[in-house]
Homo-oligomer: A and B are copies of this chain.
Amino acid sequence: MKIAVFGTGTVGPAVAAALAKLGHDVVIGTRDPQDTPARTQAGPMGGVPFAQWHAEHSGIAVATFADAAAGSDLIVNATNGSGSLAALDAAGAANLAGKVVMDIANPLDFSRGFPPSLDPVNTDSLGEQIQRTFPDARVVKTLNTMNAAIMVDPASVAGGDHSVFVSGNDADAKTVVAGLLAELGHRDIIDLGDITTARGTEMLLPIWLRLWGALGNADFNFKIAR
C-alpha cells in the first residue's frame, strides 16, 4: 500500500520504518522536506537525529504534507496532537478525501507542565476533530495507547499478549487499519465503535503517563482481560 506518515518525532519514523519493512511504499510527510532530512539534533525522546535515521532508511522519501498525501492511499497522523490539524490542513482536504487517515496522535496539553492534561477531552477528542474538519477522510483512531516501540513490535512486551483499539465511522477503513495492525503483529484488535469512542482511548493517556512513572519505564501496554 502507498502510505504517507506525517510526523518526524519518535513515533513517525518508527512507524514509517516498520511499514516499509513490511513492503509498503512509504513516504514521510513534513512541513519542510528540505530542512527535515538535514536535522542533526537528537529527537525529542533522545532518539537518533532525523538525518541519521534517514541515512539508515534512505528508501523512505521525504515530501511535503501535500505531496505525501497526494501520492498515498493511507495517511498516518503521527504528529504532535497540538499540531495535527495544521499538518492535515497543510496536506489539503482534497488530498485526504476518500482516504484512510490513521490517527495515532494524542492531544496532550503541556501548557500546565507535567503531567500534561488533554485538550480536547471528555466530550470531544482529537480523532473527532479531525473527522469533523475533514468529513471526506475516513478517520480511524488507533495505536495511541502505547509507545512507539510496542506499536511496531507488539511481541516485545508480554509476548504480544495485550490489546489495541480501533475507533471510526467507516467499517471498511477499520478493516484496512486492522489489516495493517495484524501485519505489525497485533493479535487482540478491539473495535470500540464510531469515532466518538476515540475519547476513551485518548483518555487512557493520563493513566499511561502515571504508569510510566510508577513502573519506571514505558515498556507496558493495556490488555483487556476477559
Residue A123 CB within 8 A of the other chain = yes
Interface string of A155-181 (1 = CB under 8 A from B): 001100110010000000000000000
Q: How far is the CA of A117 from the CA of B196 in the complex (A)?
A: 12
Whether B206 contacts A190 by the Cβ 8 Å rule is no
Interface string of A200-226 (1 = CB under 8 A from B): 110110111111011100011111111
Q: How many residues on A have C-beta within 8 angstroms of the other chain's C-beta atoms?
A: 38
Whether A203 contacts B192 by the Cβ 8 Å rule is no
Chain B residues near A206 (CB-CB < 8 A): 122, 199-200, 203
**Other A-B pairs, 7, CB within 8 Å; known A192-B211, A192-B214, A200-B208:** A122-B122, A162-B223, A190-B211, A200-B209, A203-B207, A204-B204, A222-B224
Whether B200 contacts A210 by the Cβ 8 Å rule is yes
Partner of A201, one of B112, B161, B207: B207
**Could you say which of A122, A158, A193, A225 has the most chain B C-beta atoms within 10 Å of its C-beta?**
A225
Chain B residues near A221 (CB-CB < 8 A): 224-226
29 A-B pairs, CB-CB below 8 angstroms? Answer: A112-B123, A117-B123, A122-B122, A158-B225, A162-B223, A192-B207, A192-B210, A192-B213, A192-B214, A193-B214, A197-B207, A197-B210, A199-B206, A200-B207, A200-B208, A200-B209, A200-B210, A200-B211, A203-B203, A204-B204, A215-B226, A219-B226, A220-B225, A220-B226, A221-B224, A221-B225, A222-B222, A222-B223, A222-B224
**Could you say which of A201, A207, A214 has the most chain B C-beta atoms within 10 Å of its C-beta?**
A207
Q: How far is the CA of A199 from the CA of B193 in the complex (A)?
A: 24
Q: How far is the CA of A170 from the CA of B223 in the complex (A)?
A: 29
Residue A121 CB within 8 A of the other chain = yes
CB-nearest residue of chain B relative to A160? Answer: B225
Q: How far is the CA of A112 from the CA of B223 in the complex (A)?
A: 30
Chain B residues near A123 (CB-CB < 8 A): 112, 117
Q: A203-B203, A210-B192 are in contact. Are A225 and B226 (CB under 8 A)?
A: no
Residue A14 CB within 8 A of the other chain = no
